[in-house]
Amino acid sequence: MKTHLVQLQKRIEELEELAEEISKLAEALQNDQTVQPQLSIKGQQWYRGARELLVQHNFSGLEEFEDSYFGRIERGRNEAKAFIDIQRYIQLNSIPPNVKDDYCRVFTMFFSRSRALLLALQAELASRELPVTTQLSFAVAADEFDKAGELLRQHSGDEALLRASGVIARVALERHLFCVAETRSLTIIVNPPTKKRPDVEDVLNTLIKASVITPVQKSHFDSLFRIANNCAHPKEPINSNDVERLIRDGRAEAAAIR
């Protein structure tokens, strides 16, 4: 591992330690304990420090990371925001009893997703450094699928961990598909062209057009990404069997496409 990745890993570990402190303060807030100004200070330190890392490294999941902080659920004409998010939660002095469970559940979901994205940064950079002419990103993706599987095994009914495992699996699978397209020197057509960057639907259509995958395979990918997207949205139901299929089948499909 190169020196830069070692330094990056150390910084991510420091931010994870800070995130653990924030989680404890968030739980204390739920239990009606006084947590300010510590929660606000540590929350801002974590977000600003993590976001700067993602910006510096041109991370593909930066928008998703910011969406969690600001509670954005949809963009464009149907733009909507959640009733609570990381930004607002860390500023609370107390939570009204009638919304306490909902506030804590949604905050935990957004925060877990943000942490999962930050943890995926190192894997993304490692895959960039792979010599694409001889090795694709599957080795990195496999490691992330392992991490996703471990979170799934440990979730014990915790919806936040269940959703986080799905988010990690999605990041691994999506990045692998983009790596395949890049290695084959395929130009990904963005549809509609007004989008800032191509998404997974664009890369799947590109891989079909280049005969890298079949329409049947695309349908399978579509079903997997539906599960993955549900993991990222608090209003969409999710269950452990779906996430298990996402991790299992996602790994198998990634291994089959080189």
Residue range 31-49, pLDDT digits in tens: 999 999 999 999 999 999 9
Q: Tell me, yes or no, whether 256 and 135 share the same domain.
A: yes
Q: Is residue 124 part of a domain?
A: no
Q: Are residues 223 and 246 in the same domain?
A: yes
Give me the mean pLDDT over the 12-31 stretch: 96
What's this model's pTM, rounded to 2 decimal places?
0.55
Tokens coding 231? 């993991």
Query: Would strands 80-81 and 72-74 be described as parallel, antiparallel, or unpaired?
Result: antiparallel
Residue 17's pLDDT band, with cuts at 50, 70 and 90, is very high
**Quick one: pLDDT band at residue 129, thresholds 50, 70, 90?**
low
**Across residues 184-204, what is the average pLDDT?**
89
Q: Look at the block and give the residue holding tokens 């919806």.
A: 159
Q: Tell me which residue range forms the domain holding 143.
A: 130-258
Identify whether residues 1 and 103 lie together within a single domain.
Answer: yes
What pLDDT sits at residue 132? 44
**With 50 as the cut, is the pLDDT of residue 11 above it?**
yes
Domain finish residue from 80, 115, 150: 115
Number of C-alpha atoms within 13 angstroms, CB side, residue 200?
20
- Tens of pLDDT, residues 131-183: 443 244 566 777 888 999 999 998 888 888 999 999 999 998 998 888 888 87
Is residue 195 scored above 80 in pLDDT? yes
What is the Cα–Cα distance from 85 to 246, expressed in whole angstroms?
Answer: 26
Axis crossing angle, helix 159-183 with helix 100-129, rounded to the nearest 10: 30
CATH number at residue 237: 1.20.120
Cα separation, 201 vs 97, in Å, equals: 42
| Number of structural domains found in the chain | 2
Q: Are residues 108 and 142 in the same domain?
A: no
Per DSSP, the three-state class of 75 is coil
What span, in angstroms and rounded, lies between the C-alpha atoms of 180 and 82?
A: 35
Q: Is residue 122 included in any domain, yes or no?
A: no
Same domain, 221 and 169: yes
**Cα separation, 27 vs 22, whole angstroms:** 9
User: At 72, phi and psi to the nearest 5?
Assistant: -75, 130
| Residues 9 and 56 occupy one common structural domain | yes
Read off the pLDDT of residues 214-245 as tens digits, 9 standing for 90 and up.
999 999 999 999 999 999 887 788 899 999 99
- In this structure, are 24 and 60 located in the same domain? yes
Tens digit of each residue's pLDDT (9 = 90 or more) over 75-126: 666 778 899 999 999 999 999 999 999 999 999 999 999 999 999 998 888 7
4-8, 80-84, 142-146, 193-197: least confident range: 4-8
Separation of alpha carbons 176 and 210, rounded Å: 16
The larger pLDDT score, comparing residue 202 to residue 129, is at: 202
Look at residue 30 in the predicted model and tell me its pLDDT. 93
Q: Residue 77: what pLDDT?
A: 67
- In sequence order, what are the residues at sequence separation of 6 or more whose Cβ sits closer than 8 angstroms to the Cβ of residue 127? 137, 140, 141, 175, 179
Q: What is the pLDDT of residue 233?
A: 83
- Domain membership of residue 125 (yes or no) is no
Q: Is 188 helix (H, G, I), strand (E, B) or coil?
A: coil
- Examine the domain organization and report whether 186 and 255 are in the same domain: yes
User: Are 210 and 188 contacting, i.e. CB atoms less than 8 angstroms apart?
Assistant: no
Residue 234: per-residue pLDDT: 76
